[in-house]
With several copies, the nearest count.
Chain A
Amino acid sequence: MNIKVLYFARIKESVNYSTEEIALPVDISNINTLKAFLAKRGEIWADLFSGKQVVRAAINHELVDDMMAIHDGDEVAFFPPVTGG
């Protein structure tokens, strides 16, 4: 399936872009497995997505936990803990 992935704040600066389209392998079905998939892209990605850092996720503009399923066409976002207000 195809999804859109967005990165924000410190994570966006680390990976050096803000958005990409990804055609997911069939075994990637939730946020957890997507993080593991991204972590294999190299050192910067491993550092962000292998669990050493707190990375929050949203699917279609809703905060979700790592077990949330991903569906074709979803907009997935990764970002650090929020600091507004």
Chain B
Amino acid sequence: MSVRVQTADFDVAAALAEMRLASADIGAVVSFIGQVRDINDGDTVNTLTLEHYPQMTERMLASIEKEAQSRWNIVNSLIIHRVGTLKPLDQIVLVAVASAHRGDAFKACEFMMDYLKNQAPFWKKESTPDGERWIEAKTSDTEAQERWQQS
């Protein structure tokens, strides 16, 4: 279980290798990489700036990991999230889960992303040719989180 919030880029290869090689109990590693798209809502995105609430971010991400661990059989998990100014094709976030069997890893990884989207205090501002704008939260993300409350 670990959480990192950083301005620097991260090395997916090293992170996943470290995770899977940590134990021969691990049969499955599911990972999610989020990256900056060059178009959003029909407009060109030049840069994307991520702001966050430092003390709260780490705390919230750790509590999301803990909740996932209580729901599924997972051996290890990792969240790395970048802040600062990024450009299209830059990596934003890595969520990875290692488990004995694939079902737990898939569910826990998607759960962590859905909760991160709705609860972790990050905000995105895009710079487009028409100026800057804050990205609005999406109803689809709220709905994605609500699925997990029914089970």
Contact = CB atoms under 8 A, between A and B. Distances in A.
Direct contact of A and B (CB under 8 A): yes
Interface of A: 6, 8-10, 58, 61-63, 77, 79-85
Interface of B: 34, 50-53, 55-56, 59-60, 81, 92-93, 102, 113, 116-125, 134-138
Contacts of A61: 53, 55-56, 59-60
Given A8-B51, A63-B119, A85 B56 contact: no
B56 A77 contact: yes
Nearest to B114: A85
Contacts of A81: 136-137
SS class, residues of chain B in contact with chain A: mixed
Contacts, number: 72
A53 to B, nearest CB: 11
A65 B53 CA distance: 18
A2 B49 CA distance: 33
A84 B36 CA distance: 11
B92 A85 contact: yes
A84 B123 contact: yes
B53 A8 contact: yes
B50 A84 contact: yes
